Amino acid sequence: MNPKISVIMPVYNSAKYLSDSIQSVLEQTFYELELIIVDDGSNDESLDIARKFEKKDERIQVFSQQNMGPSVARNKGVRVASSDLIFFIDSDDLLYIDILKCLYNYYCDHEAEIILCETKIFSKRKDLPEKIDEGNIKVLDGKNALVVALESPKLEVSVCGNLYGRSLLEKNPFKENVLFEDLAATVCLLKQVNTVL
């Protein structure tokens, strides 16, 4: 199978949440994906949990490295990804069941270089609404999208939950050993693109 979306998940000591997070990727209505899990030197059961899932589903690849931070883990995921589209998820995140299908369809319709999504904060899985609120879809250039993202209480300046063209990430790897690397990456990426959804 040639995956159409590579989902990259850096993991560090996430045993409490990891099974639910992985399951939310595997349950997607969009099947043509690969899940790349990069364990960043966890000292809990995270790596064992990830390996168990890897044995059950051929779409999963698990890598392990010394603790070097999420930027290094994400860069590793981008390097080994098979797809031209990259989606990032943290190991305590959950996905709506059809989010990847929606994002892929949006990408095909608009050929956006980045698709930014709203996120919701929740405490338990049952607190998630049953369906995606697609809201208002806007097509902007990168600089205007950056302004909207920074001013919106709902849009996340994290890279998680967003869809990216792989070539953009290859040209702009995550900066390592910096604080708030997600914000730095988002600002850098948005400043370079013409079409953001």
Q: pLDDT tens for residues 76-123?
A: 999 999 999 999 999 999 998 999 999 999 999 998 999 988 877 766
For residue 33, the cross-strand partners are 5
Distance CA 140, CA 126 (A): 34
Among residues 113, 82, 85, 119, the alpha carbon closest in space to that of 197 is found at 113
Predicted confidence band of residue 132 (pLDDT cuts 50, 70, 90)? low
Q: pLDDT tens for residues 40-54?
A: 999 999 999 999 999
Is residue 18 within 8 A of residue 50, CB to CB? The reply is: yes
Is residue 129 within 8 A of residue 51, CB to CB? The reply is: no
Q: pLDDT tens for residues 144-179?
A: 988 887 787 666 678 998 999 999 999 999 988 776
If you ran DSSP here, which 8-state letter would residue 126 be given?
G
Residue 137 neighbours by CB distance under 10 Å: 11
